[in-house]
Amino acid sequence: QVAVFCEDRSPASVVGAVADLVDRADTGCQESMAGLVSDVALTLLRKEATWISAGLETASFRSDDAADAAFGQFSLKERAKIERETVNRVNGRDRSERHGGSPDGEWGPGGRGVSRGISRGATATSQSTVAVVTLILCLNGKKIAPVKDRDSLRAALLALGSDVLSTAECLMTAEVMWTPEARGDVLLPEDVTLDFPALIPL
C-alpha cells in the first residue's frame, strides 16, 4: 500500500496510469492480472519522487481455504474505509457504477482478479490530490520483505513486479484498489493519516 502525491489526473500521474492499466486488463485472466500487478508495481517505481508513505502487511497459511478467507478479510477491511466504488471489475465482469453493476463482487473458482476505483465524498476544483494505491495479493510460495523505508519499498516493488511474472502458479488471487478515482474527488494528507494509520512516512 503506497500513498503518493498527484499534481493532476493525467495519464502521467499515478492514478491516471493505474486507471489506464486497469482499463486494459482482463480481470478474468490470471496472466493478465499478473501483468497488471507487475505494471502497477513498475508505475510506482517510476514515480518514486511522489511517494509519501507506505506499508506492508503479510501472513502465511497452510491451506488455500485459509488463504482465501484471509484475502477476503483484507479486502473487506480496505473497502470499509471508503464510501463507494466507482470502478468494480471482478473476474472479467464489469460491475462499475457507470455500467449499473452491483458493488459486491463474486468469488470465482481458483481465485479472482479484482480492480476497484474508489470515490470519496470530498470534491475540489483543483485536480491535485494525495492518492493511495493498494495491492491485495495471494502468492504461492513467495514472501515479500517488510517495508520500513524507501529502500525496502523499492526492493519490495521490484520483487513483487518480477515474482508475479516468474511462474503461472505464483499469483493465486489479486485485487488492485486506488483512491480517489472519480475526477474532482480529493484525498487530503489528514485523510491518509486517519484512514491508513499503519502507513510509514517515507
Kindly report, residue by residue over 137-171, the tens digit of the pLDDT. 888 888 888 999 999 999 999 999 888 887 767 88
| Strand partners for 135 | 176
Mean pLDDT of the 93-110 span: 42
* CA separation for the pair 39, 36 (Å, rounded): 5
- When pLDDT is averaged across residues 103-115 and rounded to a whole number, the result is 38
Per-residue model confidence (pLDDT) at position 118: 47
pLDDT digits (tens, 9 = 90+) for 74-90: 888 887 777 666 555 55
pLDDT bin (cut points 50, 70, 90) of residue 23 is confident
pLDDT tens-place string over residues 37-61: 999 999 999 999 999 999 999 888 8
pLDDT (mean) for 87-94: 53
The yes-or-no verdict on residue 112 having pLDDT over 50 is: no
What pLDDT sits at residue 140? 85
CA distances from residue 82 to 11, 100, 136, 147, 174 in whole angstroms, order as listed: 23, 19, 16, 24, 19
The pLDDT of residue 106: 39
Q: How confident is the model at residue 94 (pLDDT cuts 50, 70, 90)?
A: low
pLDDT value at residue 29 = 81
pLDDT for residue 165: 81
pTM over 0.85: no
Strand ordering across the sheet containing 113-119: 93-94, 84-90, 113-119, 171-179, 129-139, 2-6, 51-54, 200-201
